[in-house]
Structure 1
Amino acid sequence: MTAAALEVLKSVYGYDAFRGPQAGIVDHVIAGRNAFVLMPTGGGKSLCYQIPAIVRPGMGLVVSPLLALMADQVAALRQAGVKAAALNSDLDPDERRALWSAVETGALDLLYVAPETLMRPDVLERLRRARLSLIAIDEAHCLSQWGHDFRPSYRQLDGLVRQFPATPRMALTATADEPTRAEILAHLDIAVADSFVAGFDRPNIRYAIEEKDNPRAQLKEFLARHEGESGIVYCLSKRKTEETAAWLRGEGTDALSYHAGMDKAAREASQRRFQRGEAVVMVATIAFGMGIDKPDVRFVAHVDLPGSIEAYYQETGRAGRDGLPSDTLMLYGHEDIALRSRFIEESDAPDERKRMERQKLDALLGLAETASCRRQVLLSYFGDRCEPCGNCDTCLEPPKLFDGTVAAQKALSCIYRTGERFGQAYVVDVLLGAENDRIRQFGHDRVSTFGIGTEHDNRGWRAILRQLIALRFVDVDLAGHGGLSIAPAGRDFLRDKPTLMLRQPRAARARRHRLERGTAQSTVPEADRDLFQALRQKRTEIARLQNLPPYVIFHDRTLIELAAARPGSRAEMGRVPGVGEAKLDRYGPAFLAVIAEHG
């Protein structure tokens, strides 16, 4: 490890040692070599390019997808004493001239820029005249057509290989399966030997997945465990986003909404409030979240099935970036499965792409329906592994399995006997022998499957049908009225009659995983909690005066360390992890005064 890198780590960021593979990556890039870095969110990817950019001669160029993210990263770097700036369309002429002057005179350590801006000919020409220490492409999965968030503007970054052949290139992401990784390496001409894959595990995150029963009641119960904390609730549609946010506000939650249908100013206002708040819930579509740098997101909930395991992993990964305990919940039902399938089949994508998307959906359904450790299933998708984690719902409350062979045969037979055109509720009514006019009207009170399923209740049959849909035994006609029909795999099952084990649904109340959880507050010893809250209050006051997110001043983890150490001098405070020299100069007296007041 170079002495210069360690000096920057301590003096700028306030840490004595690198974590995991950071040291190897930093050394590799300082030596002038390319690097592909796959590291879980919160694992410290930013340091892997920021420190080499500071140590190497010249200016580091960072490609980032969002203006808000760039603004927050630049603000955090400046707080730490790093000379950083962002080039974007919001700059007025004077600001733009000053920025280019700083670039030309070598006055910047790091310049952040969006791909659309970077690839303009005039911008590239000016950058060719500057001395670049490295080029770092953040959220690099956006470059791959196989990635869950492909962006055409990122594909243009191929041109950087020709434009700056002697400048070290870095591609960084938290989310990339094997096809995505291979495509990133090929397009940016980075050798496989220059890859650093740090694993995907986020042990501080608790994973939980439930079948939809009463989604609002389930979400309300989940959020009740996170009172006074920030989090994200993902919805599939713009309308549902607005309705859910309005309902939460009616329930007393400080909830915002964010989706692509909002005008730019409204979206930016919502994001700014979320970034600067400490107990704000963002209700959003997938339009929100890429690159969100807020470290104290304590929970992420999906009230609809996400698009893939990659999307789920990245979206849940926005929780707990500071490494403190965080919570996730995903709700899904048979309608979600059918809708996602419909999106795939009705898209204009080529057949190869559709086949890949079907495989991705099947993998996600496998995660949702598994009776084993969810973390093991999640990590295995990315080629990673772990022991049973003890921090997911299936580890903490193992589901029961039952031999569902006969139940599946009954359900499939009932779908067939009723003409393969009725929805789930109707099929369940026939299986339970419900006496109603609609069943009598169609004569289905006289079919052989009428009333043969009384060994399961309504919830039980819904769970069985949902699992048969997930297994591709049953298709759902969403273009019509949600009618169920037997898929080829279901016909094979009826012919071959193999044993089929299914998950047994928990009783409605027992299914709510009332699990003990950890939060930033609960990790603080009781003797330190009053001081911790006082330090948070001081941080909030300082942040408001500067119009900055509180975490830009200090992370919660640093405040926890300060509350535990109770430094009495500048030198003692400088030994607390996360307190660099610039922040010590700027904020040391204020925080030392709060600590002194608490004895």
Structure 2
Amino acid sequence: MNPALSVLEQTFGYDSFRGQQHEIIQHVIDGGDAVVLMPTGAGKSLCYQIPSIVRDGTGVVISPLIALMQDQVDALTAVGVRAAFLNSTQDAAEQARVEQAYLAGELDLLYVAPERLSQEQTKRFLSNGRIALFAIDEAHCVSQWGHDFRPDYLALSELADRWPDVPRIALTATATEATHKDITARLQLGRARHFVSDFDRPNIQYRIVSKNEPRKQLLDFIRAEHAGDAGIVYALSRKSVEQTAEFLGSHGVTALAYHAGMDSASRARTQSRFLREDGVVVVATIAFGMGIDKPDVRFVAHIDLPKAVEGYYQETGRAGRDGQPSTAWLTYGLQDVVQQRRMIDSSPGDLAHRRRMSAHLDAMLALCETLECRRVNLLAYFGQTSAPCGNCDTCLDPVTGWDGTVAAQKLLSTVVRLQRERGQRFGAGQLIDILRGKETPRTLQHGHERLATWGIGQELGEQQWRGVVRQLLAKGMLAVNDDGYGTLVTTEASAAVLAGSESVMLRAEPEKATRSRATKAAKKAAADLPESAASLFEQLRVWRAEQAREQSVPAYIVFGDATLRAVAVERPASETDLSTITGIGAKKLESYGAMLLEVVAAHPA
């Protein structure tokens, strides 16, 4: 049998490779370099784990995730792979034990952080052993174009010079063409083969809703669709993270905060509970989630607009790694656009940097404002063409567009008149009050009822007008002034609209947010087990939780939900039957086979 396939079956318990896995693995086994772009949940880890086992020596994995190395090593040890890590969490005795195992050729994989590998002492140590390959995980970190730049990754270009005969494989879950090129150049992988997988994650349902009391919207979403499920909620600021976690917790959701301002012990506790307990929701900044292999995250929510499509795609990809139906939910509004534009304008970077940030934001806004399939728009960003998916909000509840030219002219004219006639600039709220003829202390104080545009926009409600402002900002026909107050000004593109030479098509703004029919589709897909199998599945989950607690490891390291579902459906009666189920390799059969069969036998058919 092919050595790679043998390891896949005997060690990891899978009977076939997925997508390009086999081609990548064989290429690296044969000594070739590779750059691998593959979405989260598609099996990137096997692309370096199997070659590390098959080739002579130890596979050295460079990972930026010190906090997760223990779990990654635990998962490998559980299937019989000889794995270890070296990082600052270990005492001198433990580091010495690992170093000795490496030098003696007793390790298949060794995980190290880029900061450690950049030290000359570490390089000399590695030179005294036999290296099977170098795997550079989360390779987008090497790129200044990437959304998580790590300077220590730059030193990894030295690997090619120091170990020219050792194959290198760089892997990331997301990369635009610019980031892809940057990774290749910075890591000196010009001669590497490039493997770019299909970026589609069909089990994830993308939903974007108008922002209106986002914490309440989030709570309603969780209660209606994901009660008791594990999930991740992303917010931009630490304050928002803490307030959202507290709000969810006060309404019965097990929610924990995670951000860089917390001490390392608190972050470690949050991460541990998320990995080891069922139904925990982590509210976090983007500092959380990279490298977490938890397969049963059922939703990822954003209550603030992400800065770029690349980051959004990778964050949402942390949902549904097990292939089961999951939701990517985002609430987005006018203030998000104003805030992001203001952050770009005040950025300390040079003009080129601000232009890159603006381009990233424009792509994110295009995804939010599209009238077409979200997935088509998202995949197009990565250069992939696709057909409408039938499983996003715009497919399930089609959105209509409308000719907003007159509305845009009314709004822009108000901005121009305020500035030219009175030397005044205001934010969206005051402009909308003027257009709707709303008498407030502020409009009366400034005499705005005497403006020619006073009350000419009563045909639209406040929420609809906010949608007009938001979309004009997104289209670059309106801009945020750099005065620090969020006031709005016209742009060069405004002139054509005011002159009537350019029409403006806008996305229809719902007066009231409605729950998508997508909810029913997701729930129906999730409830696909027969009643007897569903009951056994829950019993198997209880047994798994007990095993995980005893071993102090995350539940998915014992078995993933997909494996337990297969056991519940097939009801194996012998270890031979068990060995045919995906996810049960030789080591796990030896460790858990008898206990699994007892649970099945004790449960009535």
TM-score range, shorter chain: over 0.9
Q: Tell me, yes or no, if structure 1 residue 387 matches structure 2 residue 375.
A: no
Q: In structure 2, how many angstroms separate the alpha carbons of the residues matched to 1:518 and 1:461?
A: 32
Where does residue 568 of structure 1 map in the other structure?
573
Superposed displacement of residue 193, structure 1 = 5.8
Q: In structure 2, how many angstroms separate the alpha carbons of the residues matched to 1:203 and 1:192?
A: 33
**Structure 2: segments with no counterpart, 5+ residues:** none
Equivalent residue runs for 1:73-472 within 5 Å: 73-191=72-190, 194-224=193-223, 225-419=225-419, 421-472=425-476
Give, as a single letter, the amino acid of the residue that structure 2 aligns with 1:585: E
Give, as a single letter, the amino acid of the residue that structure 1 aligns with 2:136: I
Q: Tell me, yes or no, if structure 1 residue 480 matches structure 2 residue 479.
A: no
Cα deviation code 1:411-465 (max 9, x no counterpart): 1111222235111111111101112232122111011100101111111111111
Q: In structure 1, how many angstroms separate the alpha carbons of the residues matched to 2:165 and 2:351?
A: 39
Give, as a single letter, the amino acid of the residue that structure 2 aligns with 1:204: N
Where does residue 537 of structure 1 map in the other structure?
542
Q: In structure 1, how many angstroms separate the alpha carbons of the residues matched to 2:195 and 2:120?
A: 32
After TM superposition, the structure 1 stretch with the greater mean CA deviation from structure 2, 132-141 or 89-98, is 89-98
Q: In structure 2, how many angstroms separate the alpha carbons of the residues matched to 1:354 and 1:525?
A: 54
Give the secondary-structure state (helix, strand or coil) at the position aligned to 1:213: coil
Where does residue 595 of structure 1 map in the other structure?
600
Cα deviation code 1:554-589 (max 9, x no counterpart): 000001111111100011001100000100100111
Q: Tell me, yes or no, if structure 1 residue 43 matches structure 2 residue 48.
A: no
- Residues 434 and 443 of structure 2 are in contact (CA less than 8 Å); yes or no, is this contact kept in structure 1? yes
- Residues 339 and 478 of structure 1 are in contact (CA less than 8 Å); yes or no, is this contact kept in structure 2? no
Give, as a single letter, the amino acid of the residue that structure 1 aligns with 2:376: Q
Give, as a single letter, the amino acid of the residue that structure 2 aligns with 1:584: L
Give, as a single letter, the amino acid of the residue that structure 2 aligns with 1:152: P
Q: In structure 2, how many angstroms separate the alpha carbons of the residues matched to 1:197 and 1:529?
A: 37
Q: In structure 2, how many angstroms separate the alpha carbons of the residues matched to 1:196 and 1:386?
A: 19
Give the secondary-structure state (helix, strand or coil) at the position aligned to 1:159: helix
Superposed displacement of residue 478, structure 1 = 6.5
Q: In structure 1, how many angstroms separate the alpha carbons of the residues matched to 2:513 and 2:340?
A: 28
After TM superposition, the structure 1 stretch with the greater mean CA deviation from structure 2, 215-224 or 485-494, is 485-494
Give, as a single letter, the amino acid of the residue that structure 2 aligns with 1:74: V
Superposed displacement of residue 116, structure 1 = 0.3
Give the secondary-structure state (helix, strand or coil) at the position aligned to 1:112: strand
Q: In structure 2, how many angstroms separate the alpha carbons of the residues matched to 1:41 and 1:223?
A: 23
Cα deviation code 1:19-45 (max 9, x no counterpart): 110010011011000000111100000
- Residues 138 and 171 of structure 1 are in contact (CA less than 8 Å); yes or no, is this contact kept in structure 2? yes
Superposed displacement of residue 82, structure 1 = 0.2
After TM superposition, the structure 1 stretch with the greater mean CA deviation from structure 2, 494-503 or 160-169, is 494-503
After TM superposition, the structure 1 stretch with the greater mean CA deviation from structure 2, 317-326 or 498-507, is 498-507
Give the secondary-structure state (helix, strand or coil) at the position aligned to 2:59: strand
Give the secondary-structure state (helix, strand or coil) at the position aligned to 1:207: strand
- Residues 476 and 484 of structure 1 are in contact (CA less than 8 Å); yes or no, is this contact kept in structure 2? yes
Between the aligned residues of both structures, percent identity stands at 50
Give the secondary-structure state (helix, strand or coil) at the position aligned to 2:520: coil
- Residues 230 and 279 of structure 1 are in contact (CA less than 8 Å); yes or no, is this contact kept in structure 2? yes
Cα deviation code 1:258-315 (max 9, x no counterpart): 0010011111111111111110000001111111111111000000001100010011
- Residues 136 and 171 of structure 2 are in contact (CA less than 8 Å); yes or no, is this contact kept in structure 1? yes
Equivalent residue runs for 1:500-515 within 5 Å: 500-510=504-514, 515=519
After TM superposition, the structure 1 stretch with the greater mean CA deviation from structure 2, 215-224 or 358-367, is 215-224
Q: In structure 1, how many angstroms separate the alpha carbons of the residues matched to 2:213 and 2:20?
A: 44
Give the secondary-structure state (helix, strand or coil) at the position aligned to 2:528: coil
- Residues 342 and 484 of structure 2 are in contact (CA less than 8 Å); yes or no, is this contact kept in structure 1? no
Query: Quick one: structure 1 residues 440 and 512, their matched pair in 2 at CA, closer, same or farther if it must change by over 3 Å?
Result: farther
After TM superposition, the structure 1 stretch with the greater mean CA deviation from structure 2, 511-520 or 7-16, is 511-520
Give the secondary-structure state (helix, strand or coil) at the position aligned to 2:49: helix
Give the secondary-structure state (helix, strand or coil) at the position aligned to 1:398: coil
Cα deviation code 1:328-361 (max 9, x no counterpart): 1111222211222222222222222221111111
Give, as a single letter, the amino acid of the residue that structure 1 aligns with 2:559: F
- Residues 12 and 81 of structure 1 are in contact (CA less than 8 Å); yes or no, is this contact kept in structure 2? yes
Q: In structure 2, how many angstroms separate the alpha carbons of the residues matched to 1:477 and 1:247?
A: 33
Q: In structure 1, how many angstroms separate the alpha carbons of the residues matched to 2:144 and 2:276?
A: 34
Superposed displacement of residue 484, structure 1 = 1.3
- Residues 521 and 529 of structure 1 are in contact (CA less than 8 Å); yes or no, is this contact kept in structure 2? no
After TM superposition, the structure 1 stretch with the greater mean CA deviation from structure 2, 281-290 or 474-483, is 474-483
Give the secondary-structure state (helix, strand or coil) at the position aligned to 2:45: helix
- Residues 345 and 482 of structure 2 are in contact (CA less than 8 Å); yes or no, is this contact kept in structure 1? no
Where does residue 4 of structure 2 map in the other structure?
5
Q: In structure 1, how many angstroms separate the alpha carbons of the residues matched to 2:332 and 2:316?
A: 15
Equivalent residue runs for 1:52-71 within 5 Å: 52-71=51-70
Superposed displacement of residue 514, structure 1 = 6.1
Q: In structure 2, how many angstroms separate the alpha carbons of the residues matched to 1:193 and 1:131?
A: 22
Give, as a single letter, the amino acid of the residue that structure 1 aligns with 2:575: R
Q: In structure 1, how many angstroms separate the alpha carbons of the residues matched to 2:516 and 2:3?
A: 52
Alignment TM-score, normalising by the size of structure 2: 0.97
Where does residue 14 of structure 1 map in the other structure?
13
Give, as a single letter, the amino acid of the residue that structure 2 aligns with 1:205: I
Give, as a single letter, the amino acid of the residue that structure 2 aligns with 1:455: E
**Structure 1: segments with no counterpart, 5+ residues:** none
Give, as a single letter, the amino acid of the residue that structure 2 aligns with 1:338: V
Superposed displacement of residue 106, structure 1 = 0.1
Give, as a single letter, the amino acid of the residue that structure 1 aligns with 2:157: D
Superposed displacement of residue 386, structure 1 = 1.4
Q: In structure 2, how many angstroms separate the alpha carbons of the residues matched to 1:507 and 1:344?
A: 30
Where does residue 563 of structure 2 map in the other structure?
558
Where does residue 493 of structure 1 map in the other structure?
497
- Residues 38 and 175 of structure 1 are in contact (CA less than 8 Å); yes or no, is this contact kept in structure 2? yes
Superposed displacement of residue 385, structure 1 = 1.8
Superposed displacement of residue 509, structure 1 = 4.1
Superposed displacement of residue 496, structure 1 = 4.7
Q: In structure 2, how many angstroms separate the alpha carbons of the residues matched to 1:560 and 1:536?
A: 10
Q: In structure 2, how many angstroms separate the alpha carbons of the residues matched to 1:522 and 1:99?
A: 45
- Residues 397 and 516 of structure 2 are in contact (CA less than 8 Å); yes or no, is this contact kept in structure 1? no
- Residues 14 and 581 of structure 1 are in contact (CA less than 8 Å); yes or no, is this contact kept in structure 2? yes
Superposed displacement of residue 63, structure 1 = 0.5
Give, as a single letter, the amino acid of the residue that structure 2 aligns with 1:325: P
Give the secondary-structure state (helix, strand or coil) at the position aligned to 2:506: strand
Q: In structure 1, how many angstroms separate the alpha carbons of the residues matched to 2:220 and 2:121?
A: 54
After TM superposition, the structure 1 stretch with the greater mean CA deviation from structure 2, 370-379 or 218-227, is 218-227
Q: In structure 1, how many angstroms separate the alpha carbons of the residues matched to 2:158 and 2:87?
A: 20
Superposed displacement of residue 156, structure 1 = 1.4
Q: In structure 1, how many angstroms separate the alpha carbons of the residues matched to 2:46 and 2:165?
A: 22
